[in-house]
Structure 1
Amino acid sequence: MTITRPITHHPDDGVLLAHAAGTLGLAPRLVVGAHLEACSTCRARVARFEAVGGAMLDAQAPEALASDALERAMAALDAPAPVEPPPRLAPASFPLGIALPRSLAGQRLGPWRWTAPGIEISKVEGLWKTRERCFLLKAAPGVTVPHHDHDGVELAQILTGALIDEDERFEVGDCAQAEPGLRHQPQSDPKDGCICLIAIDGRTRPSQWTGRLIQRFIDI
């Protein structure tokens, strides 16, 4: 992904710190990984967090190895090689020339599915019937997402076009972070629409009956 403009919207330090510590769930980790691929500023922050964590580990008193540590290590060396993950599958209608983020390597993507007028999603398989969900969202130009809030944090990495949320404009490379309880109604760019990689913790809570009706069919 080549981005010539400054990236102005980033995940907050709590999210980046959890990513550095390895405690972030898989769904948000995929989105943060896509952001780090594009954003040198956040890569530097994560590197600093990792360095601090490494220094803290170095300061800890060493623990004695278990009595069977050597036997288990040798057994692991003799174990069969891990099976390579299946190749990532881009939806058939994914726009020509748009590369998926490297964070999605090994993930299986479902086909584009209609969710609302002008909006389609492609689910990351295995990350749907869980509390954390991850999916690609494609919105036609000038489409408004149904008004909603969230059980947990929502992260959206902009891959193409732009997303307008209240007075903020999120462009390619930006990561939009919505906190639990935030009520909003994002809109895609009137000219180019947008494609985003989104992770949500829990479910969305539509404010209107039309959104609740759609939710019954797509379980988002």
Structure 2
Amino acid sequence: MTHILILTGAGISAESGLGTFRDKDGLWTQYDLEEVATPEGFARNPALVHDFYNARRANCLEAQPNAAHAALARLQRAHKGHVTIVTQNVDDLHERAGAKDVIHMHGELQGALCAACDHRWPAPRVMSPDAPCPSCDTPSTRPDIVWFGEMPYRMEDIYTALGDADLFVAIGTSGNVYPAAGFVMEARAMGIATLELNLEPSDTASAFEDARFGPATQVVPAWVEELL
């Protein structure tokens, strides 16, 4: 096995204290997604959007990588072939666990983006709508996050990696957010082996050839240990 492509979702960070969309009492349930996770919502009330992402950023900074993040970083280091990690998550826990060259298809909480000139820079801990862009000085600062209705980042790189992979593994994903939810079918169409590691079966579970269910901090390290 020379190339493993791993897709991670919110489930891998849940045990680090970062909530998933489905958490009954999580941060997401306190806000209307139409208001805080769309370009239209940002246009209507940028202060509300910044408040939401400032809270998420603070939550992320307080969180620590867990055993699942550490196991994937170990796999990258020890696997004789290549391991590509693509994440739907906007936290930096993969990197803090030691993973390299992680593809953040939905952006990053630690990034800022100018809506006027597309300049990017490291986000401060607290962002505000009137903060000027360091490049064009326009007060159009937004989180460098892919919102609903926007195109995910680095799709060409992801599909190139998928086409080169021998094994596609989805970890902690719900299987209901596209285009990531469609990766398993693309892999199957190309004859690539597929594996789901999840707390419970995802919406696309039937598309995977193999699956293991349980907490990410248990099933991911066990799978990595077996593989190595």
TM-score (norm 2): 0.22
Q: Which structure has the larger Rg?
A: 1
More helix by share: 2
